[in-house]
């Protein structure tokens, strides 16, 4: 299994729809997880952190299933402004107490009027 794997999409959904993205990770020792959002030709920006079973922030819900090594991101009531690539991110230990981020390839979302 690749370290972090995502469905690349694209997901084309109408405004107001609910959409879910899935991500699997290979390192069973991972303790924290992130979803980053990246707009076209821009830098990644942190959307949500997930440390326990899940996290909710407005229309966005992230869930973690440690047994299955699976993370999901749910977006409710999609807005045009949600169109972006969503990156699943897992910190990987580099040894000596430091961590680097391992990114999935990203899932592209297009919200259509």
Q: Which residues bind another protein (CB under 8 A)?
A: 4, 8, 30-32, 34, 41-46, 49, 51, 87, 89, 91-106
Cβ-based nearer residue to another protein, 40 or 113: 40
What lies within 8 Å, CB to CB, of 107 at 6+ separation is: 6, 7, 8, 9, 10, 11, 21, 85, 86, 88
Closest contact distance (angstroms) between CB of 60 and another protein is: 16
Cβ-based nearer residue to another protein, 101 or 112: 101
Q: Are 31 and 51 in contact (CB under 8 A)?
A: yes
Sign, CA dihedral 61-30-8-36, equals positive
Cβ-based nearer residue to another protein, 15 or 70: 70
Closest contact distance (angstroms) between CB of 25 and another protein is: 13
């Amino acid at each position: 299994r690749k370290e972090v794997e995502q469905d690349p999409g694209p997901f084309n959904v109408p405004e107001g729809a609910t959409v879910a993205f899935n991500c699997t990770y290979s390192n069973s020792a991972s303790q924290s997880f992130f979803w980053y959002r990246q707009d076209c030709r821009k830098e990644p920006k942190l959307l949500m952190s997930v440390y326990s079973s899940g996290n909710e922030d407005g229309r966005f819900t992230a869930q973690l299933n440690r047994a299955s090594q699976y993370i999901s991101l749910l977006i409710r009531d999609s807005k045009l402004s949600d169109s972006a690539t969503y990156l699943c991110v897992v910190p990987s230990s580099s040894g000596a107490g430091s961590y680097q981020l391992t990114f999935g390839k990203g899932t592209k979302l297009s919200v259509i009027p």
